[in-house]
Amino acid sequence: VTQRLPDSIKFDAEKVAVGKRLFVDVRLSRDDSIACLSCHDLTKGGMDGRVVSIGVGGGVGTINAPTVFNSGFNFVQFWDGRADSLEAQVDGPVNHPKEMASTWPLVLTKLGQDLSYVAKFKELYPDGMTVNNIKNALATFERSLLTPNSRFDKYLRGDQSVLNAHEKNGYELFQSLGCASCHQGVNLGGNMYEKMGLMGDYFTDRGNVTEADNGRFNVTHNPENMHEFRVPSLRNVELTAPSFQDGSALSLEQVISIMGRYQLARAVAVEEIEDIAAF
């Protein structure tokens, strides 16, 4: 079932403000060159527009950076679901040798020299500045990154006039073809895992298979989870190309064509693709 985003959610404004400051703070990285914002640019749909991100010292990532907008609605974080919360997610980039390449002791040392941070954490958290509290502040800011009241949300609220005929037909097709069976809920995705290549061998056809392509298998080591990924949200998807975990699809039309072939085992007609892309 598709649901509209809530118009607003109440968060602790002070924690959001500290989290926002941390989000743009390069001191989270080993050499003060990378901030969360580097890969999750809030002016570019909450990601970086790259196939894979570039980290400290030019380190090249292995998987496409997902958007941080509306990420609080995802049931797990990362494509392979290895973090069960936004707080747990923060450990990944901070410690990853190809991302921020840092350690929590180093981050604490650097931020601990900033007296304005120390005072603010003491004010907001009983135990002051700790790793868990830094993660909580960041996660609180990220949860506040909502994009409510889109034209589609207004349509779901009953305003028929906000979508044109192509968009309405696209939504009908989105439901009737089966896209909505995975892209569902308030985030139009993000609430289940699915195998990439359900109805065809996507990875063999694409070639150059990497470890990151294993998806959830890398976490569970269960062969049944091979090539399974968290279904991405379709919120603001027109802003977040390139798409898929491998960043291989450069346009919405390409995404829809590939999804039709490998997830639904059908060739979607050009006019249908255009209408779904419009939606």
Which amino acid, one-letter code, is at 143? R
For residues 35 and 107, the answer to whether their CB atoms sit within 8 Å is: no
Phi, psi of 41 (to 5 degrees): -75, 120
Q: C-alpha angle 258/149/166, rounded to 5°?
A: 45
- Note if 14 is an active site residue: no
Q: In 222-279, where do the E strands start and end? A: 228-230
In order of 43, 135, 144, 246, 262, the CA distances from 212 in angstroms are 27, 25, 29, 8, 19
Length of the chain: 279
For residues 8 and 148, the answer to whether their CB atoms sit within 8 Å is: yes
Cα gap 253→261, rounded to integer Å: 13
Q: Of the listed 14, 87, 99, 228, which one is catalytic?
A: 99
Cα gap 266→264, rounded to integer Å: 6
**235 token code pair:** 């919120």
Cα gap 153→135, rounded to integer Å: 31
**46 token code pair:** 């909450």
For residues 143 and 69, the answer to whether their CB atoms sit within 8 Å is: no
For residues 178 and 264, the answer to whether their CB atoms sit within 8 Å is: yes
User: Which amino acids are annotated catalytic?
Assistant: 99
